[in-house]
Amino acid sequence: MKNAMQRAILPALIFTCFSFFSTQAQSTANVTLNVVLQNAASIVINGANNVATLTYAAPADYTNGVSLDQAAALTTISNQPYSVTVYASGELTNGTNTIPVGDVTVTPSLASANTDITLTGVAIPVGTASAANIIVSTAGTASQDFNLNYSTEAAPTADFINKPTGTYTTTLTYTLTNP
């Protein structure tokens, strides 16, 4: 009977030992991770570039026009394709005297290369209804800098002759729009 009992205990002992060494504590927990993307778009005129002054100081300026280059003047950020338009609030005025703002051309250029962007120089239009595209991007950009050039070099000389001296002013509005 002792042998029979030993034969019954031995397999139970082996099973218990095997189970003891092969059993591991295990616990798991799950987390749902969400990343929420929302449209984000921004346009910024950088630093002192919020004023553009074209100065007629010499006789040749009246003959040839003048230009102003502003490096990294405008920065765009958008997670989607976008366009940038420009328009003036009105003509260039000094009291009751005016100069057509369309005599001024604004031309953007890239501060760093980006093949997804098309740039167009335009004579500055008046009013939101006439806003003109100067930048079209077929892809979003994390931070894209643009140089701006303001020029009257192609403007009719007559628009600047026989005008009272002084500062002629208008306000330009640049707008970034996602399609």
What would the 3-class secondary structure string for 55-90 be?
CCCCHHHHHHCCEEEEEEEEEEEECCCEEEEEEECC
pLDDT greater than 70 at residue 14: no
Q: What is the pLDDT of residue 4?
A: 59
- Predicted confidence band of residue 25 (pLDDT cuts 50, 70, 90): confident
Residue 152 has pLDDT above 80, yes or no: yes
Euclidean distance between CA atoms 77 and 25, whole angstroms = 51
Under the banding of pLDDT at 50, 70 and 90, the label for residue 52 is: very high
Report yes or no: 178 and 82 within 8 Å, Cβ to Cβ: yes
pLDDT at 98: 98
Mean pLDDT of the chain: 91
pLDDT, tens only, 95-127: 999 999 999 999 999 978 899 999 999 999 999
What's the pLDDT band for 23 if we cut at 50, 70, 90? low
Task: Read off φ and ψ for residue 100, nearest 5 degrees.
Answer: -60, 125
pLDDT of 27 > 60? The answer is yes
Mean pLDDT of 45-66: 96
Beta bridge mates, 172: 88
The percent of the chain in helix, strand and coil, each rounded to the nearest 5, is 25, 35, 40
160-172 average pLDDT score: 97
